[in-house]
Chain A
Amino acid sequence: MSSGLPKFPDPPASLDDDFGRDLHTEHQVLNMGPSHPATHGTVKFLIELDGETIVNLDIQVGYLHRGFEKECESGTWYQAIPYTDRLNYNSAVIANVGYCMAVEKLLGIETPEHCQWLRVLSSELARIADHLTRCGAACLELAAMTPFLYGIEARELVWDLLEMLCGARVTSNYIRIGGVKHDMPGDFAPTAKDFIPRIRKLLVDFDKIITSNRIFVDRLKHTGVISKEDCIRYAVTGPILRSAGVGLDVRKTDPYLVYDQLDFDIPIGEVGDNYDRYLVCVEEMHQSLRIIEQCLTQLKKLGPGPVNVADPRVRWPAKGKVFNRMEELIQQFKSVTEGPLVPKGEAYFAVESANGELGFYLVSDGSAVPVKVRCRPPSFINLAPMDGMLKGGMLADLIPTFDFINMIGGECDR
């Protein structure tokens, strides 16, 4: 008897067989972002899905484009420093250092030793804050709120230290061409000595809560994998490159400031997945704490000293002289309105930011206004291979992968 009912196939022997079978579903296109609750960053993903599997991914950036380069090209060399704060706002000091050292390279200035230790100290504090934000927010977006709170508590301590040192918690604006804004305040060193063990303890707690959590491990292991070779083809740097097993770090390969006098290790991963990136970031925070301790010891040993280069091109004259002498008054006026005249030429200077190689390529025509201020943004360049990291994976893998690429809109879009 033939009824009008359709004939259904036999049920699969097990559920796994069913999942493994090609269901010939139609592809659907999903718009994710630019403001999505599970991503911390303003970016839009146009995802072509086959069920929950990512077939194609188009990453659309630029929502935070403020014309960084254009603005820098219309101000003096000094006026670009606050803009660099707003590139990667999780670790603003590192961008300050990169830009100022690129200008110093053009000017041919060597900063005093005291200043160099302070720059390293503040850079490493910023690196810890950046990694804490990355790891904490990743937990939050993977639905684990508690570790996020531990991470943020530690970041508060780091930010308190940065505030004591720079006067601001996030957009520090601490580094100057030829120096830093001021020496560390008298109570900074004891406070830092008090805070470092507390930060370490919070990192240990963070580790205990999440590192071997089954859900966290399952969502991070073998997701967002990128090979060593692909990292190099895509010029990926920073923790992503190191998690793939390449131990490249500008602080070791082209040591700047006093990094060659410091004792620290570069952690590397094996697989190049999100879990390795997480482990690399956690270890880098411990290494940064080691560096900070060495900086404090060294600064104590050095005693008080100049934090700024004695070069009238980049520093203001002493206030007492400005108020009483004409030449110094004129010089102060010229320094404020015009800033330094940077000799004609070009220079590229790279620092290791929390996301990788942050480079500044500057071109000067000898005037007080830059011709070109190019920022090589690690966030932008590291984000480019993300479609390849996710193709064939599940939609849910996008969240941890995007978290550990740590795309920072300010730096990516500039």
Chain B
Amino acid sequence: MEDFGSPALRKLIDGFPDAVKLTHADHGDATALVDATRIEAMMRFLRDEADFDMLLDVTAVDYLGQIPRFEVVYHLYATGPNQRLRVKARVAEESAEIASMVSLYASADWMEREVFDLYGIRFDGHPDLRRILLYDEFDGHPLRKDYPKERRQPLVGPRN
């Protein structure tokens, strides 16, 4: 597996030779596609051994029609050496579940809630996984590609 000159990518490939499935550095962004079942150990490794102390962003992409369907995307930042790394993991539609990063990075809390809210991907081990941008009665997950933009939702009254 190639590291494209990124020391972080090299470390990750050496640390987890069988769990890194694909790497690229298109447009200068070092990226690794990894095995979703190993994500927690890999992120812990990146935090503790490769100085990635900031989890800048967590999001997901819906590749409707592909198997596995979803891709969870993490953007990491190392404040000391000023490096960035993108880590991605594929998640199947049926289970739609991946380990939560809240125990490693506090910033994952709200961002994982947002991904759960808008994509319906569950984060195993999240202490408080509930909707964040939408309301509890909202039916469906709007950023899934099969959710029609024009779809109406039932009106709900104020909660008591």
Residues on A facing B (Cβ under 8 Å): 61-62, 65, 67, 69-71, 73-74, 105-106, 108, 230, 232-236, 246, 248, 253-254, 345-348, 357, 359, 361, 363, 371-372, 374, 376, 380-381, 383-385, 413-414
Among B34-58, those with CB < 8 Å from A are: 53-57
CA distance A359 to B76 in the complex (A): 12
Given A361-B73, A372-B61, A235 contacting B27 (CB threshold 8 A): no
The distance from the CB of A160 to the nearest CB of chain B, in whole angstroms, is: 35
Which residue in A62, A233, A254 is a CB contact (below 8 Å) of B105?
A233
Contact B61 A385 (CB under 8 A): no
Task: List the A side residues contacting B131 at CB < 8 Å.
Answer: 62
- Which of B2-10, B91-99, B132-140 is the contact stretch? B132-140
Contact (Cβ within 8 A) B133 A232: no
Nearest residue, chain B, Cβ from A345: B26
Contact with A along B99-124 (1 / 0, CB 8 A): 00000011101110010001000000
Give the size of the chain B interface in residues (CB under 8 angstroms).
36
Q: Are the C-beta atoms of A380 and B149 separated by less than 8 Å?
A: no
CA–CA, A106 and B31, complex, Å: 15
Find out whether the CB atom of B110 lies under 8 angstroms from the CB atom of A384. yes
CA distance A268 to B69 in the complex (A): 44
CB contact under 8 A between A361 and B133, given known A232-B54, A348-B86, A381-B107: no
Give min CB distance, A240 to chain B, whole Å.
Answer: 13
Cβ-neighbour of A62 out of B54, B132, B142 (below 8 A) = B132
CB distance from A153 to the nearest CB of B (A): 36
CA A90 – CA B92 in complex, angstroms? 40
Contacts of A248 in B (CB 8 A): 79
Whether the pair A346, B133 counts as a contact (CB closer than 8 A) is no
Q: Are A235 and B107 neighbours in the complex by a CB distance under 8 Å?
A: yes
Taking a contact as CB atoms under 8 Å apart, the answer to whether A376 and B75 are in contact is: yes
A sample of 14 more A-B contacts (CB under 8 A), given A62-B132, A70-B142, is A65-B134, A69-B118, A105-B27, A232-B79, A235-B55, A246-B79, A345-B26, A346-B26, A359-B75, A363-B61, A372-B59, A376-B75, A383-B110, A414-B133
Interface residues of B (CB under 8 A from A): 26-27, 29, 31, 53-57, 59, 61, 63, 73, 75, 77, 79, 82, 84, 86, 105-107, 109-111, 114, 118, 131-135, 142-143, 147, 149
Complex contact B110–A62 (CB within 8 A) = no
Q: How far is the CA of A4 from the CA of B17 in the complex (A)?
A: 81
Question: Is the pair B111, A385 in contact by a Cβ cutoff of 8 Å?
Answer: no
Q: In whole angstroms, what is the CA distance A414 to B111 when docked? A: 13
Whether the pair B109, A384 counts as a contact (CB closer than 8 A) is: yes
In the complex, which residues of chain B have a beta carbon less than 8 angstroms from the beta carbon of A71?
A: 149
Contact A70 B143 (CB under 8 A): yes
| Residue pair A234, B106 in contact (C-beta under 8 Å) | yes
CB distance from A352 to the nearest CB of B (A): 13
Contact of A374 with B135 in the complex, beta carbons under 8 Å: no
Contact between A65 and B133 (Cβ–Cβ < 8 Å)?
A: yes
Report the Cα distance A365→B149, complex, angstroms.
20
User: Inside 8 A of A67's CB, which chain B residues have their CB?
Assistant: 142, 149
Q: Does B61 contact A413, Cβ atoms closer than 8 Å?
A: no
Contact, CB under 8 Å: A376 / B56: yes
Bound-state CA distance A54–B75 (Å) is 33
Contact B107 A345 (CB under 8 A): no
Instruction: Report A-chain residues with C-beta under 8 Å of the C-beta of B135.
Output: 62
Interface residue from B31, B107, B142 paired with A384 (Cβ < 8 Å):
B107
Question: Is the Cβ of A347 less than 8 Å from the Cβ of B134?
Answer: no
B82 is contacted by which of A253, A347, A348 (Cβ under 8 Å)? A253
Q: How far is the CB of A226 from chain B (nearest CB, A)?
A: 11
| Chain A residues, Cβ within 8 Å of B61 | 363, 371-372
A234 and B57 contact, CB distance less than 8 A: no
Please measure, in the bound complex, the distance between the C-alpha atom of A70 and the C-alpha atom of B143, giving whole angstroms. 6
| A106 cross-chain contacts in B, Cβ below 8 A | 27
- Name which residue of chain B comes closest to A67, CB basis: B142
Q: Known contacts A62-B135, A233-B105, A348-B75; decide if A359 and B27 are in contact (CB<8 Å).
A: no
CB nearest neighbor in A for B75: A348
Expressed in whole angstroms, the Cα–Cα distance for A384 and B59 within the complex equals 16
**CB-CB < 8 A to A414: which residues of B?**
133
Find the A residue at minimum CB distance from B63: A371
Chain A: which residue is nearest B117 at the CB level?
A: A62
A345 cross-chain contacts in B, Cβ below 8 A: 26-27
A234, B79: Cα distance in complex, Å? 13
Q: Which residues of B lie under 8 Å from residue A348 when comparing CB positions?
A: 29, 57, 75, 84, 86
